[in-house]
Amino acid sequence: MSLEPALLSPAVVDLPFREGYVRSIIYVSLYVSGIAVALSTLFSIPVAIVMGFTDFPGKQFVKSVINTGMGFPSVVVGLLVLFVVSNQGPLGSLELIFTKEAMIISQFVLATPPITAISLAAISGVSENVRDAARALGGTRLDVALVVIKEARYGIATAILAGFGRAISEVGSVLIVGGNITSASGISQTRTLTTAIQLEARQGQYDTAMVLGAVLLALVLTVNAVVVRFGDEGSVNR
């Protein structure tokens, strides 16, 4: 990114940032949270479908575990992931500590419970009539599942947004497992918007911290707007 200074947004040129600093931080934030939420979604939706469609002993217990996970403190997750990826830990040989991958792991752990729980609520909320009708028309299990997902799409989109919001706004775990690293040239390796804000505040540079905070807010709003727009498109031809 340092190779393309001309593309630096004019809006940040007069700020006390080094070239590419903010861009690289935004990139790391989106990269880590985006991949973590994508993986969470791939994991959560099937789990929510299975749980929404079947009854099994201990289902309530699993539900309460997932709901508890929604409130799991991010620093505790960071600590646990640190133990796992530290060179002394079970995944130590992979040398993941202080990397984006370690941050993705911890954000995956954080984002999965809300995505699963909210998706499950949305899927459970689809009327029995819909399922029955789908079955009556000779739909296979897959067909029925797809119809239910379609009916529950707003809820599922909300679930993904909630997971993304949790991932991109958390600071505790990425600080512990990521290390808040930039290269000497000021390009972020594992520094996210949240950890950068924390660092700037620590250094008493509140104006810089405010700018980064505004960027983070704008980012979250944009992602929300994009997802909401997708939801609207789905209803245009209703």
Partner 1 sequence: MVVSMSEQRSTADDVGRSRFSGATSRRSFLKIGAVVGVTGLAGCSQSSGGEQSQQAQAGVSGETLTLTTTTSTYDTGLLDAIHPDFEEMYGVTVDAVAQGTGAALESARNGDSDVVMVHARGLEDEFMRNGYGINRRDLMFNDFVIVGPESDPAGIQGMGSATDALTTIAEAEAAFVSRGDNSGTHTKELNLWEAAGTDPGGDWYQETGTGMGEALNVANQQGAYTLSDRGTFISQRSEIDLTILVQGPIEGGPEILANPYGIMAVNPGVHDNANYDLAMAYIGWITSPGAQNAISEYTMNEEQLFFPEAVSEDPDFQQYVPEGWSSNSSDE
* Binding status of residue 20 toward partner 1 by CB under 8 A: yes
Run of H or E residues at 203? none
- Which residue's CB is nearer to partner 1, number 15 or number 133? 133
Contact with partner 1 (CB under 8 A): which of 22, 23, 81, 166? 23
Tokens standing for 235? 């209803």
Does 139 help bind partner 1 (rule: CB under 8 A)?
A: yes
Pick between residue 34 and residue 213 the one whose CB is nearest to partner 1.
34
The only residue of 52, 84, 120, 164 in contact with partner 1, by rule CB under 8 A? 164
The one-letter amino acid at 238: R
What is the nearest approach in angstroms of partner 1 to the Cβ of residue 203? 4
Contact region for partner 1 (CB under 8 A) — 9-17, 30-38, 53-61, 210-218? 30-38
Using an 8 Å Cβ cutoff, are 52 and 150 in contact? Answer: no
Q: CA 68 to CA 53: how far, in whole Å?
A: 22
Residues 173-212 that bind partner 1 (CB under 8 A): 179-187, 189, 201-205
Looking at the Cβ atoms of 55 and 233, the one nearer to partner 1 is 233
9 touches partner 1 by CB under 8 A? no
Given the complex with partner 1, which of 67 and 224 has the nearer CB atom? 224
Alpha helices in the chain (DSSP H): 21-53, 59-70, 74-85, 100-124, 128-136, 141-151, 153-169, 172-178, 193-202, 206-235
For the segment 42-101, give every residue that binds partner 1 (CB under 8 A): 42, 86-88, 92-93, 95, 97-98
Tell me which stretch binds partner 1 (CB under 8 A): 60-68, 73-81, 209-217, 229-237: 229-237
Calpha distance 203→217 (Å, rounded) = 21
Tell me how far apart the 2 most distant CA atoms of the chain are, in Å.
65
Residue type, 111: A
CB of 47 closer than 8 Å to CB of 146? no
